[in-house]
Amino acid sequence: MALTGVEIFKLLPKTNCKKCGHPTCLAFAMKLAQRQATLDSCPDVSEEAKKVLGEASAPPVRPMTFGAGDKAVKMGEETVLFRHDKKFVNPCAFAVEIKDTLSEADIAAIAEEVVKSEIDRVGQKLRIDAIALTNASGDAGKLEAAAKTVAAKAAGVPVIINTQNTQAAEAAVKVFSDKRPLIYGATAANFEAMANIAKANKAILGVGASGLDELSTLTDKIKGLGVEDMVIDSGARKAKEIIENNTLIRRAAIKKNFKPLGFPIINFIQREDSLHEALLGVIAITKYASIVVLSSIEKWKNLALFTLRQNIYTDPQVPMQVEQKVYPIGEPKPESPLFITTNFSLTYFIVSGEIENSKVASRLAVMDCEGLSVLTAWAAGKFTASKIAQFITESGVEKDIATKELIIPGYVAILSGSIEDKLPGWKITVGPREANAIPAFLRSRG
């Protein structure tokens, strides 16, 4: 259990020296409790306090980085069970399985598909993050050869070496030295040897067991051998077990600070039926997986899973925003209508969607209001006549359009007069209050 601000305060020097940058020791303690400060800012803290606080302040789910370079994936650091309490921290990684029984050409083809999987959504780059290379052949040489193909075709993509054969693991891990691969992994039968390989090659160790009791025992033993960075698999494969075990793991880590399960979770959800696999993906994404292993990465499936991950990992306290600019919808001509709205991503999506549904090519001017919706932005003084006038003038949209007419959201009808005053020569038209009335509104304009 994490310590409260007052409990932390009791361990601090209580000198209010301000050297940490906070006005009092109590203020600093509160920041520590919220994980917005670190103990090393305090120069006078006692060794004993360091030890107690260090243990208590270690994140309940151990943070680690999988892979190296600009494609590395951060995992762990989660602090809550429900996203409305606080943001889920590190979005889960998607890995596609490649079996070493495939031909070199097939392995290369999937590796290239992974490299090309990146898409952009609301300004975020989303992609298949990793490759799980499975030693289906059972042969160390084959795994090593496949590893070399992957390393060449998908350079920089983090790799899971999926084998319980220590010899094969050792051969493949060398292909990714200094790339921080994940070896999956360790079982009750081989954990000592696997722990040594992981340690010697600075790899993360995936630990697989059947059930949470066996898993806890195993991670504890492996930790005793000096391996700190582990990723855990409870053996859950069916939807029901995934929810149950992932929930119990996250609960144990967060609510009980139970260290043997305080590691990122890996879920294997490969299925013949790709859509069914996607739905198991929904369960893994929403219920605490850090790595989700897929059997295939069709574009339609990627888009759905990427989008869900983005939705679930959005900060519930910070609205998603889109870039301020004039967006064309369809292929607008000079006489096409011009709308304005705010840059709350949901507002943008809904308004642009309804304009699209109306099949009337238009321009949509999206104004930066710090991600607030229309009414909220207006109430907060961020969507005002003068700011709208300034944005429209600076956007230069005037030179693209035939008639200087701007359609404003019905909720801010009150602004129409003052915008006209500030934008001489423009006609301000009050549009509908709700986006779903836009198609009818556009039809009525003929």
Binding residues for 5-methoxybenzimidazolylcob(I)amide: 341, 347, 371-374, 435
Q: Kindly tell me which of 82 and 445 has the beta carbon lying closer to another protein.
A: 82
Q: Where are the alpha helices (DSSP H) in 294-437?
A: 299-312, 345-358, 374-379, 385-395, 416-422
Instruction: Give yes or no for a contact between 355 and 328, defined as CB atoms under 8 angstroms apart.
Output: no
How many CA atoms does the CB half-sphere of 327 hold within 13 Å? Answer: 19
Strands 182-186 and 124-126: unpaired
Strands 362-367 and 325-329: antiparallel
Query: Out of 12, 305, 340, 377, which residue is the one contacting another protein (CB under 8 A)?
Result: 305
Q: Kindly tell me which of 265 and 283 has the beta carbon lying closer to another protein.
A: 283
For another protein, which stretch binds (CB under 8 A), given 93-101, 148-156, 207-215, 375-383? 207-215
Q: Kindly tell me which of 165 and 296 has the beta carbon lying closer to another protein.
A: 296
Where is the binding site for [4Fe-4S] cluster, in residues? 17, 20, 25, 42
What is the spatial distance between Cα 16 and Cα 363, in angstroms, rounded to a whole number?
57
What is the residue type of 276? H
Query: Out of 123, 300, 359, 398, which residue is the one contacting another protein (CB under 8 A)?
Result: 300
Min dist. Cβ of residue 389 to another protein (A): 30
Residue listed under structure tokens 């030295």: 177
Tell whether residue 283 is a contact of another protein (CB under 8 A).
yes
Query: Out of 193, 312, 361, 375, which residue is the one contacting another protein (CB under 8 A)?
Result: 312
What is the spatial distance between Cα 35 and Cα 56, in angstroms, rounded to a whole number?
11
The footprint of another protein on residues 226-245 (CB under 8 A) is 238-240, 243-244
Q: Kindly tell me which of 142 and 287 has the beta carbon lying closer to another protein.
A: 287
What is the spatial distance between Cα 54 and Cα 153, in angstroms, rounded to a whole number?
42
Structure tokens at 137: 């052949």
Closest alpha carbon to 200 in 192, 189, 208: 192
The footprint of another protein on residues 95-134 (CB under 8 A) is 119, 121
Q: Kindly tell me which of 4 and 357 has the beta carbon lying closer to another protein.
A: 357
Secondary structure (H, E, C), 377-419: HHHCCCCCHHHHHHHHHHHCHHHHCCCCEEEECHHHHHHHHHH
Query: Out of 51, 276, 333, 359, which residue is the one contacting another protein (CB under 8 A)?
Result: 276
Q: Kindly tell me which of 297 and 388 has the beta carbon lying closer to another protein.
A: 297
Tell whether residue 19 is a contact of another protein (CB under 8 A).
no
Closest alpha carbon to 436 in 360, 355, 372: 355
Binding mask 389-418 for another protein (x = CB under 8 A): ------------------------------
What is the spatial distance between Cα 104 and Cα 295, in angstroms, rounded to a whole number?
18
Tell whether residue 267 is a contact of another protein (CB under 8 A).
no
What is the residue type of 41? S
What is the residue type of 77? E
Min dist. Cβ of residue 338 to another protein (A): 21
Query: Out of 36, 40, 84, 178, which residue is the one contacting another protein (CB under 8 A)?
Result: 84
Q: Kindly tell me which of 160 and 372 has the beta carbon lying closer to another protein.
A: 372
Query: Out of 45, 58, 188, 248, which residue is the one contacting another protein (CB under 8 A)?
Result: 248
Binding footprint of another protein, residue count (CB under 8 A): 57
What is the spatial distance between Cα 183 and Cα 204, in angstroms, rounded to a whole number?
6
Instruction: Give yes or no for a contact between 404 and 427, defined as CB atoms under 8 angstroms apart.
Output: yes
For residue 97, list its beta bridge partners. 132
Strands 291-294 and 93-99: parallel
What is the spatial distance between Cα 22 and Cα 9, in angstroms, rounded to a whole number?
13
Tell whether residue 199 is a contact of another protein (CB under 8 A).
no
SS3 content of the chain, % helix, strand, coil (to 5): 45, 15, 40
Query: Out of 109, 275, 379, 414, which residue is the one contacting another protein (CB under 8 A)?
Result: 275
Tell whether residue 27 is a contact of another protein (CB under 8 A).
no
Min dist. Cβ of residue 88 to another protein (A): 10
What is the spatial distance between Cα 262 and Cα 358, in angstroms, rounded to a whole number?
51
Min dist. Cβ of residue 220 to another protein (A): 5
Min dist. Cβ of residue 174 to another protein (A): 33
Binding site for another protein (CB under 8 A): 82-84, 119, 121, 212-213, 215-217, 220, 238-240, 243-244, 247-248, 251-252, 255-256, 258, 260-261, 273, 275-276, 278-280, 282-283, 286-287, 298-305, 307-308, 310-312, 314, 316, 346, 349-350, 353, 356-357, 440
